[in-house]
């Protein structure tokens, strides 16, 4: 993606989030130079990879296959492994109308996916086989707002604003905005986007960025290069 396009997506996302009554934390609005100047003070933000995240999954078709994300809080794998401390994470995401977040699963993370407002959120689901690969025949057990449900393989679960689904490791899922744009919440165990995403197709988690202009704000994938 071009940096100019990332800037456009970022600013439009902030406007959409505000339009639905949500606000991002103060560190969201720090300029790149200020983040670099305050990198010691912001070590918790940087190390936990909190902040902006815009991906086209390396495919160059963001409007068709992409996702906006903002990680607001994130614990550590060490805490998760010890069973104490900050074992949780929270994200806010935007899926635009018919914009696909492609089929994937997680190894460790359990997550609640919540429709926070806007249009409907559609989630197509499959279960994992014993080898971890997508099983095209097995039923998919999920929990919707604390109520157990069973979906057939490949069924699409549609969440209205306010509704949620709990996805366990091994639940394959792809999602998009059904009929319009949707604001999505994610509350989960500790998030690790570097190692805990398994995609059904051979695609990447992060975008390749063409630096055609300066960044308005850094993405989490920029931290290592820009703040080192």
- Which domains can be identified in the chain, with CATH numbers? 3-227 (2.60.120.10)
What is the model's pTM?
0.96
Give the DSSP per-residue string, 13-26: HHHHHHHTT----G
Tens digit of pLDDT per residue, the chain (228 long)? Answer: 999 999 999 999 999 999 999 999 999 999 999 999 999 999 999 999 999 999 999 999 999 999 999 999 999 989 888 989 999 999 999 999 999 999 999 999 999 999 999 999 999 999 999 999 999 999 999 999 999 999 999 999 999 999 999 999 999 999 999 999 999 999 999 999 999 999 999 998 999 999 999 999 999 999 999 997
d(CA 10, CA 18): 12
Q: Among candidates 122, 201, 200, 186, which has minimal Cα distance to 155?
A: 122
What gap in Å lies between CA 2 and CA 138, rounded to an integer? 41
Give bridge partners of residue 165 from the DSSP assignment: 113
Q: Is 43 exposed, middle or buried (0-12, 13-18, 19+ CB in 10 A)?
A: exposed
């Amino acid at each position: 993606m071009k940096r100019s396009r990332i800037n456009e997506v970022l600013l439009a996302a902030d406007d959409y989030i505000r339009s639905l009554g949500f606000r991002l934390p103060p560190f969201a609005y720090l300029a790149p130079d200020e983040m670099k100047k305050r990198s010691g003070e912001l070590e918790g933000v940087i190390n936990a990879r909190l902040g902006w995240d815009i991906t086209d999954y390396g495919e160059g078709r963001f409007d068709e296959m992409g996702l906006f994300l903002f990680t607001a809080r994130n614990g550590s794998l060490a805490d998760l492994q010890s069973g104490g401390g900050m074992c949780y994470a929270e994200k806010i995401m935007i899926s635009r109308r018919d914009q696909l977040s492609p089929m994937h699963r997680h190894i460790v993370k359990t997550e609640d996916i919540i429709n926070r407002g806007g249009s409907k959120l559609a989630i197509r689901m499959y279960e994992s086989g014993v080898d971890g690969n997508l099983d095209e025949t097995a039923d998919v057990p999920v929990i919707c707002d604390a109520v157990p449900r069973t979906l057939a393989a490949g069924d699409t679960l549609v969440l209205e604003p306010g509704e949620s689904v709990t996805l366990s490791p091994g639940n394959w899922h792809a999602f998009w905005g059904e009929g319009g744009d949707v604001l999505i919440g994610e509350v989960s165990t500790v998030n690790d986007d570097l190692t805990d995403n398994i995609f059904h197709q051979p695609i990447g988690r992060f975008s390749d960025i063409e630096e055609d202009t300066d960044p308005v704000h850094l993405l989490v994938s920029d931290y290592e290069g820009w703040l080192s």
